[in-house]
Amino acid sequence: MADLPLTRDFEPDYGHMVEVSPLVRRVVAQNPSAFTFKGTGTYVIGRGKVAVIDPGPLDDAHVQAILDGLPGETITHILITHTHNDHSPAAAPLKEKTGAPTYGFGPHGSGQPAPEGAKMDEGGDMAFVPDHVIADGDVIGGDGWTVECVFTPGHTSNHMCFGLREEKALFTGDHVMGWSTAVIAPPDGDMRAYMASLRKLLERDDAVYYPTHGAPVDKPQSLVRGYITHRKAREAQILKRLEEGDRTITAMVPVMYAETDKRLYPAAARSVFAHMKQMAEEGRVLTNGTPEISGEYWLP
């Protein structure tokens, strides 16, 4: 990942609400993993009457930490970037305790269980249905804050970023993270949509990104360009492996991810498959029938 300006310099104060900016606060759930980094960062925007973004996993202690961090304040909106199990399940108990309605693009898109090898935090929250369905360009107004909905499918088919206009800040969920690249895992993840969503962010003038995992990103345009370059390099690696005679993703992953923890190979394989699926659909690689993660591939 030498082409990416990433940072892993982030030490959360678990269970405590911390000030991030004049209008933004954050409390991090204690659910660290290879996929969540140090844990799910739940953001609060506004003062007094506030919105909560990504309330996190189904964790009573984390829900209580959100409530304890807002004494005398009222949660009026619950915003969901997407429906992986580390982002949206806590919306239900938080809504029950506060009465705040939920906002999201829609239910989990694939309607299927997590791909083989996925961890629980990557699985889909099949129970979530938003009270208010939102679309690209919608504006949600609150007490002293204004949020624009920015639809960014790719990591999931229902992924939505939220732009805080008063601070030119974008809450990027898992679309852009400062510590790592996002996993794109078909069937719900789609590489072509993901790349288009990255290019969409280059048209914006956000000053800072707040990913759900990790530290804020203070040079967002540079990181997005790095993401795009990184994905193009992955494509080139795949084509190189095909030229060298590899015909399966299983054969490619140990070479392409030689410096990666082997425990992450299943996730890496799904990401390679997302690239392969896109290239097969575009006719740049060939396969028999429908692209499959276990299929064989070759050059035209």
Please give the backbone phi and psi of residue 80, each rounded to the nearest 5 degrees, phi first: -120, 120
C-alpha torsion sign, points 190, 195, 198, 200: negative
The DSSP output letter for 228 is: H
Of the residues 54, 59, 86, 174, only one is catalytic, namely 86
Locate tokens 């892993």: which residue?
8
Taking each helix axis from N to C end, the angle separating 91-98 and 60-68, rounded to the nearest 10 degrees, works out to 40
Residue of 149, 124, 123, 128 lying closest to 51 (CA atoms): 149
Q: What's the 3-state SS for 137-154?
A: CCEEECCCCEEEEEECCC
List CB contacts of 91: < 8 A, sequence separation 6 or more: 55, 78, 80, 102, 128
**Rounded to whole angstroms, how far apart are CA atoms 233 and 250?**
19
**Rounded to whole angstroms, how far apart are CA atoms 6 and 9?**
9
Q: 26 vs 161, 177, 213, 220, CA distance in Å?
A: 16, 16, 11, 19
**Rounded to whole angstroms, how far apart are CA atoms 7 and 220?**
12
Structural tokens at position 181: 């690249």
End-to-end CA distance of the chain: 29
Task: Identify whether 206 is a catalytic site residue.
Answer: no
Structural tokens at position 76: 């009026």
Locate tokens 């082997």: which residue?
262
- Residue numbers annotated as active site: 86
